[in-house]
Amino acid sequence: MSATLDRPARFGAFVGRLLGGLYGAIMNLPERPMRAAQARLRDGRLGWLFVMPNLLVFAIFTFLPIVIDFWYSVTGGAQLLPGDRPYVGTGNFDSLLTCKNYLDPTTCERDLFWYGVWNTLRFVVLQVTLMIFFSLLTALVLNRKIAGRGFFRAAFFYPVLLSPVVVALIWKWILQRNGILNAGIQAFGGQGTDWLIHANWAFFWTVLVSIWGHMGFYTLILLAGLQAIPADIYEAAAMDAASPWRTFRRLTLPLLMPSLLVVFILAMIRAVQIFDEVYVLTGGGPGTATVYMVQFIYQTGFAQGVRQYGLAAAGSLLLAAVLLVFTLFQLRTMRRGAG
């Protein structure tokens, strides 16, 4: 054996043994304390031990900030430190909810908040519906015996990996006045337009771009759900000479319901909290046509020099409350349906 062949091989073996030793050490490290704990604690308490690290980080960096947020929502002033802020009780909430006509934001004290509310409502209804429709359709198509299924599956998933800012920049480039979309339309004899300067088109594009960026994720969840349905069920249905539509409605949909529910809840939560893509794509424009709830929070609490953090916090809590109620309602419906 020549020295040159030997050295990399020996180095590799050394590293391998090192890693193996490391792995063994980590695995064996908590053995003793765990057995000791097992001897002392009852079975249930052991669960707390495993949950503890996660709970600790969660408590400090997720839960505690939210508690501080509650404090922010009942205080006013422009100071950032919680201790420096004066208590105003429900002042922020009152201000947010003061409207002569709730349907017309121009009559509201906080018109930006209500623009956000109604825009978000429109957005969620349209986007979630379309998202589920296209995800389901794609999942159904992918569920067939297709050549290159893995490739197609991956292709739909690719945009999910991109950051929202990148997604928005990609589409902003396409939608430019001199962008490729207008060029394509012109090639077919049509007349391109300034897409993001018209309120309705800007809204439409925020819906489309967000679906583009997230559809793959939900497609895969639904695909998994479809593939979990055993094939014999369909055979049985075929033997009963059931019509295709009936099979879908009576058989597939109910069996797919758990996956559909997960997709629905996740999609709704994400749709309500949409911000990054839209902010980079339209900035909330034209005017306030695409200002959604989180942009209100961002603009009120961050983008101004005089931060109105109390208002922003109050707005976020109202948003979270509505979302929570809705989600719990959905979960309860599912539990009842499953039983």
Partner 1 sequence: MIARMLMARRGRAGWDWTDWASYVYLVLGVILMFGPVLWLAVSSVKSQAGLDVFPPSLLPWEQARVAVPNQPSPLPLFRVTSGDHAGETLAQVRRIGLQAQLVSAIDPSQIIRMPTKDLQPEMRVHASWSNYSDLLAKFNFGLYFFNSVFITIVATVLTLLVNSMAAFALSKYRFKGREPVFLVMLATLMIPPTIVLVPNYLIAATLGLTNSLWGVIFPAVATPTGVFMLRQYMLTLPDDLLEAARMDNASEWRIYWRIVLPLSAPALAVLAIFSVMWRWNDFLWPMVVLSRSEVFTLPIALFSFQGDLQTQWQYLLAMTVCTLVPVTLIFIFLQRYITQGIASAGVK
Partner 2 sequence: MSHRCSLAALAFAAGAALAASPASAADIRISCYSDGNECPVQKEMSAEFMKENPDINVIIDEVPYSAILQSLPVQLAAGHGPDIARVTAFGTISQYFLDMRPYLKDADYWDKNFSKTLAWLRPTPQDKGIYGLPTQLTITGAIVNKSLFEQANVPMPGPTVTWDDWAAAVDKVAKATNVPHGMAWDRSGHRFAGPAISYGAKYFNADGTPNVIDDGFKAMGSRFLDWNKNATVDRDVWVSSGGGYRDAFSEFQNGQIVLYYSGSWQVRRLEKQIGDGFDWVVAGDPCGPAACSGMPGGAILVGFKQTKSPEAVAKYLDWFAQPQRYAELMSKTENIPAQQELQTSGAVKYNVTAAGNAAIGAFLTETTRLSPVAYQLQGYKYNFQIFNPTVDRLSQAIAGQITLDQAYARITQDVADALATANQK
Residue 232 touching partner 1 (CB under 8 A): no
Indicate the residue among 202 and 263 with the shorter CB distance to partner 2: 202
End-to-end CA distance of the chain: 70
Q: Please choose, out of 85-93, 109-117, 225-233, 283-291, the segment that lies near partner 1 by the rule CB under 8 A.
A: 225-233
Prior bond of 286 cis (ω within 30°): yes
The distance of closest approach from Cβ of residue 82 to partner 2 in the complex, given in angstroms and rounded to an integer, is 11
The distance of closest approach from Cβ of residue 299 to partner 2 in the complex, given in angstroms and rounded to an integer, is 7
The distance of closest approach from Cβ of residue 7 to partner 2 in the complex, given in angstroms and rounded to an integer, is 41
User: Tokens in use for 134?
Assistant: 């296209």
Query: Could you list the residues that contact partner 2 (CB under 8 A)?
Result: 76-81, 86, 88, 106, 111, 177, 194, 196-197, 199, 202, 279, 282-291, 295, 299, 302-308
Q: Which of 331, 265, 273, 285 is nearest to 112 (CA)?
A: 285
Give the one entry of partner 1, partner 2, none that residue 262 binds, where binding means its C-beta sits below a cut-off of 5 to 8 angstroms depending on kind: partner 1
Give the one entry of partner 2, partner 1, none that residue 308 binds, where binding means its C-beta sits below a cut-off of 5 to 8 angstroms depending on kind: partner 2
Rounded CA-CA distance 166/312 in Å is 26
Indicate the residue among 105 and 216 with the shorter CB distance to partner 2: 105
Indicate the residue among 42 and 336 with the shorter CB distance to partner 1: 42
Helix (H), strand (E) at residue 230: none
Rounded CA-CA distance 159/178 in Å is 24
Give me the 123-152 binding string for partner 1, x by CB under 8 A, dash otherwise: --------------xx-xxxxxxx---x-x
Our CA angle for 265, 266, 268, nearest 5°, is 65
- The three-class DSSP label of residue 87 is strand
The distance of closest approach from Cβ of residue 314 to partner 1 in the complex, given in angstroms and rounded to an integer, is 10
DSSP sequence for 39-89: HHS-HHHHHHHHHHHHHHHHIIIIIHHHHHHHHHHTB-SS-SSGGGSPB-T
Beta bridge partners of 75: 87
Rounded CA-CA distance 83/79 in Å is 9
The distance of closest approach from Cβ of residue 62 to partner 2 in the complex, given in angstroms and rounded to an integer, is 19
Q: Please choose, out of 12-20, 97-105, 198-206, 311-319, the segment that lies near partner 1 by the rule CB under 8 A.
A: 311-319
Beta bridge partners of 150: none
Q: Residue from 161, 197, 236, 338 that binds partner 1 (CB under 8 A)?
A: 161
Rounded CA-CA distance 314/91 in Å is 10
How many binding residues for partner 1 (CB under 8 A)? 113
The distance of closest approach from Cβ of residue 247 to partner 1 in the complex, given in angstroms and rounded to an integer, is 6
